[in-house]
Amino acid sequence: MSRSKPSVIVLGWEFSRTGGVQEVSRQVAETLSRSTAFDARVVQYPRIEKFAAVVRMWLARTAGRGTACVFMHPHIFEECAGLWSGANAPATVVWAYGSDVWGEFGRRYASALPTATRVIAISGYTAARVLENFPEADVSVIRLAVDDPPTVARDVGPGFEIVTVARLAGDEEAKGHDLVLRALGLLAARGLRIPYHVVGTGPDQPRLVRMARDLGLADQVIFHGYVPDDEKERIYARSAAFVMPSHVVRRDRAPWSGEGFGLVYLEAALRGLPVIACDEGGQAECVVDGTTGFLVRPDPEVIADRIAHLASHPDECSRLGEGGREFVRRRFTPAHFRADLERIVSEAVGKRAGR
C-alpha cells in the first residue's frame, strides 16, 4: 500500500446484493476501492471462528496509526475492538443498521460502539437509537445510494395491482405482509379485489399462504418467491403501487424488528411507484408523505383506505410516482454517498492521529 495516502481496510461478512447489509457492504467496498483518497483493501470476515481468529491476528499486525479499519457490522467490530491499544491504534469506523444496535439487544451485543472513532448510521432513526444506548458515541448519518434502474417501460394495465419486495423470514413479521393481507381482506369485503404480488422467499411463506387462503384472497395474492432481476423489473413495471408497512416492534431482551433504512422503498420510488410505508423506523426517511407516497400507522384499516384511494385516483398515482423519482435522484446519489463516506473516513483518520 502507498504511504502517500491513508490505508483503509474494509471488513465485511459478504459483499453481494442479497440483503441490505450486503448491499451497503458492496457500496462501501466499491466506493473506497475506487477512491483516489485512500489505498483500500477489502477483506471478507469469516463467520467460522477459527478462520476469523486468523483474520484478527493479521489485522492486529497490519492496522496501525494512519490506517482506518471500516467494519461493516457492529458484531464484527465487537470481535476486533480489543486488538489494539495506545497511540498506534488505527481509526475505527463502524456501520450500524437497525436491530443490531436498537434497544437492550444493542446495548448488550454492540457494547464496543462507544470505543469506535466514528459510528456511521444508515438513518437518523438508527443514529438516535445508538445515542440512546451510548450517548458518548460519535455518530454520523450517511444516506445510501440507489443504482439507476434498467430501462423497462411502465406496463400498468387497466386494473390496479400492488407489490411488496422483501424476505419472508419468520422473525420479520414486521415487514408488514400480514397488514397488507388484512387490508386486502377489508377491501374485498367492500367489493374491491386488488391483485397483490409478493416477491421474496423465506420460511414465513407457508404461514402467509395459509393466511391469504383463510382471508379468501388465494386468487388475488401471487407469491412469486425468489425472482431474477429481469422478472422483478417486469413485476415493478406492471404494479401501480409499492406497499410495505414495515413497522418497529420493540422487545425487552430480543432484537427489535423494523427497518433501519429501507433501500427497497427507494428502489420502488425510482421506478415510478408511489409508496405506502409506516411512519416509524428508518423507512420514514425514504418517503415524503403526500409527495412520494403515504406514511401510515400499522393499522389494516388505514392501509386499506390508502390503497383504495390510490386505486381510485390514477392521476395521483402518477404524481406521487414522479415525485418519488425526483426525490431519489436528488438525495440518494452515488456522488453524495462517495463524498460523505470519503469525508467521514478522512475525519476519523485525522481524529485518531490527533489532527
User: pLDDT for 50-86, tens place per residue?
Assistant: 999 999 999 999 998 889 999 999 999 999 999 998 8
| Average pLDDT score over residue span 282-308 | 97
Strand runs labelled E in 14-125 = 39-44, 67-71, 91-96, 118-121
Dist CA 153 CA 339 (whole Å) = 32
Dist CA 79 CA 60 (whole Å) = 12
DSSP at 2: -
Dist CA 184 CA 160 (whole Å) = 13
Give 2's pLDDT tier (boundaries 50, 70, 90). Answer: very low
Residue 173: closest CA among 204, 148, 199, 209? 204
**SS3 call for 42:** strand
- Non-local (6+) Cβ contacts of 288 within 8 A are 323, 327
What cell was used for 288? 415524503
Give the number of other Cβ atoms within 10 Å of residue 136's Cβ: 8
Residue 157 pLDDT exceeds 90: no
Residue 149: the pLDDT is 77
Backbone angle region of 293, left / alpha / beta, with phi > 0 → left and psi within -120 to 50 → alpha: left
Dist CA 88 CA 67 (whole Å) = 10
Give 1's pLDDT tier (boundaries 50, 70, 90). Answer: very low
Dist CA 178 CA 354 (whole Å) = 52
Q: Calculate the average pLDDT of the chain.
A: 92
| Average pLDDT score over residue span 164-181 | 85
Q: What is the CA radius of gyration of the chain?
A: 22
Task: Indicate the pairing of strand 293-296 with strand 241-243.
Answer: unpaired
Residue 278 carries which side chain, given as an amino acid letter? C
54-92 b/e (C-beta count within 10 Å ≥ 16 → b): ebbeebeeebeeebbbbbbbbbbbbbbbebbeeeebbbb
Q: 165, 267 in Cβ contact below 8 A? A: yes
| Average pLDDT score over residue span 96-120 | 95
Dist CA 243 CA 198 (whole Å) = 10
Backbone angle region of 354, left / alpha / beta, with phi > 0 → left and psi within -120 to 50 → alpha: left
Q: 94, 119 in Cβ contact below 8 A? A: yes
Question: Among 39-43, 145-149, 214-218, 244-248, which stretch is predicted with the lowest mean pLDDT?
Answer: 145-149
Dist CA 13 CA 51 (whole Å) = 12
CA–CA–CA angle 314, 277, 135 (5° rounding)? 150
Residue 170 pLDDT exceeds 80: no
Match 458484531 to its residue by C-alpha cell: 75
